[in-house]
Chain A
Amino acid sequence: MPQTQTFAGRFDQIRHICHFVVSGAETAGFDPKTRFHIELACDEACTNIIEHAYGGEGNGTIAVRWSVEDNVFRVDLSDTGRPFDPTAVSAPAPITPQSTINDIAVGGLGMHFMRTLMDEVHYEFSNAGNTVSLRKWIPPTGGTPVWWYRLSDGVLLVRARGRIDQDTLTPLETQLKTLLADPQPAIVIDLAAVNYINSGGLRALVTAWRTAREKGGNIVLIHLDERVREIIGMVGFDKIIRIDDSLEAARRRLAAELNP
C-alpha cells in the first residue's frame, strides 16, 4: 500500500519528510546504512525543490508518496512550483586524487548525491507541477550471494555480496550465463558489498565480459572497495574491464556506446 503525506515547503520540514520516507525504507527491509542513503537522497531532492522549484521557503507544499512495488522502493516528491528538472543538472567535474579545492564547485552537489545514493532518479513535469521519483532496488532476503535487476533502460544490474570464492562462484556464473543470453547484454556489476574476490571469480568476470563484447554488449564494474580494486589491479583486469564511479555514470556510458 503506498503511503502519502503532504508537508510545507520549508527547510525545517525536510527532516520530517525524511523520517516519513525512512519508515518506508524500513518497511522495504533496507539495512540502516541504505536507509541513511535514502534519507540523504530525499533531503537533497527536497532542498532542490524548495530552492529551485519554489525559489525559497514557504511558497508551496511537497507531497510525498512512497511505495514498495515488486522489488523496487519508490519515493515520489511532488511540488507545484516552476518547472525544475534536477536530472538535467550536469554531473560535477570528476574529482581525482590530484584535485585541489580550487577545482571543486561550491554548489551542484545535491543531484550528485541523489544519483550516487539511489539506483534511479526520474523527473516529470505536468500541469500540476514537478515530480521527482527516487528508486532503490530491494535486495532479496536470506543469504542469496548474487542477484540482478533489469533497469528501465534495459541495463542489467548485477549485485553481489560477501566473498566471491569457490562457494559463491557457481551462483555468479549461473546468473551471468542467464544475462548473457540477452541479444546485446549491457551489464553493470555492482561490487559495493563484495569484500573479496578470488582468481576463479576474476576468471568468471573476464569470461563473461568477453562473451558480452562478442555480442556487441559490455560489462562494467562499479563501487569496488579498496581491497577488491587492489586485487583486480594486481592481475591487470582493470585494463580490460571498465570500472565506473557510479551506476549513473556506467549507464550513461553504456547507453552512448551501445546505441550510438
Chain B
Amino acid sequence: MDTLDIHVQNYPSVDVVAVTGRVDSSNAERLESTLGDLNARGRSKIVVDLSGIDYMSSMGIRALISAKKSSANRGGNVYLANPSSVAAEVIKIAGLEHVFDIHDTVVSAVASF
C-alpha cells in the first residue's frame, strides 16, 4: 500500500491511533499533527498501533519522538503497540527500541497506563 491511513479511537482516558500504510516525508506531517492535536486538547495518554505499517522512514520516527516528548511533558506518554516487522526494524535502526515502550497488543498498551 502506498498511502497513509490514520485512525483515532477515543477511549475515556486513552486514545488509540492506528497508523496503516506508508509513513515518509510526504505525509509524516499528518501523523505529527494528529498526535499534536491530541496533546493540544489535553489528551496525553496515547497508544500508537503500528501493526499496519508497510514502510516507515525516519520522518515517522521523528513524529513519534516529538509526540512522546510532548505527552511526557503533560504527564502522559506514548506507547507503541504491535509493530509490524518493518516498523520494529526501523525503530531498531534508530536505536530506540529501549526508549519507546513497545507492547505486543493494543490492549496491553492501553492497560499499562
Contact = CB atoms under 8 A, between A and B. Distances in A.
Interface of A: 10-12, 14-15, 36, 39-40, 43-44, 46-47, 50-51, 95, 97, 99-104, 106-107, 109-110, 112-113, 116-117, 245
B58 interface: yes
Given A106-B62, A109-B58, A99 B24 contact: no
Interface string B56-92: 0111011001101100100000000000001001100
A106 B65 contact: yes
A232 B22 CA distance: 38
Contacts, number: 72
Given A113-B58, A113-B93, A106 B69 contact: yes
Given A104-B96, A117-B93, 17 more contacts: A11-B25, A12-B26, A40-B57, A40-B93, A43-B25, A47-B24, A95-B96, A100-B99, A101-B99, A103-B99, A104-B65, A106-B66, A110-B58, A112-B94, A113-B57, A113-B93, A245-B95
Contacts of A110: 58
Interface in B1-44: 2, 22, 24-26
B69 A101 contact: yes
* Residue of B26, B55, B90 contacting most chain A CB atoms (<10 Å): B26
Interface of B: 2, 22, 24-26, 55, 57-59, 61-62, 65-66, 68-69, 72, 86, 89-90, 93-96, 98-99
